[in-house]
Amino acid sequence: MSKLIDQLLLALNKEQEIYDEVIALSKDKQIAIVNNDLKLLETIMKKEKTYSISLVKLEQIRAKTLNQLVKEYNLIEINVLTDLYPFMSDQEARKVDSIRTKLVNTVGILGQKNELNRQLLEQSIDQIEFDLNLITTVGDGSVNYKESASDMDVERRSIFDRKI
């Protein structure tokens, strides 16, 4: 197996490991969001940032390796990884395709988890806005209807002190 293919496989496998960790974190993030555990959420986000930095570095290594493979195979460019398969041995192509397929599936799962977490965060924000509106709406117990009998005169107050 060529040294460049080995490098490519190493980078792809390491990316897969990191994405697996990120998926595990996304499950923890979901629990933190549901339980309003901001401390845990902050810790998770710091870990995600570290993983993101590692993924960027691995992507740079992978891009450099692919550029070297393009030169080695005397190609002008490649658009997708599968463009290299005809130039690899059957064993190399199978190994690269196996990890590529696994990565594609993992990234898809991660996308679904991120979408769910996004929806949970939106629901949490909506709940906070509702709670704030409820807190800032003050009534003295009596309700004053206007002529149309559909609008109420409700005094709004701020929960923050302010000087005018």
pTM: 0.75
β-strand partners of 156:
137
Q: According to the model, what pLDDT value does residue 16 have?
A: 97
Q: According to the model, what pLDDT value does residue 94 have?
A: 96
The angle at the Cα of 134, spanning 131 to 140, to the nearest 5 degrees, equals 155
Q: According to the model, what pLDDT value does residue 137 have?
A: 75
Q: According to the model, what pLDDT value does residue 77 have?
A: 86
Q: According to the model, what pLDDT value does residue 156 have?
A: 55
Cβ proximity of 22 and 113 under 8 Å: no
Extract the residue ranges of the chain whose pLDDT is less than 50.
none
Structure tokens at 2: 């060529």
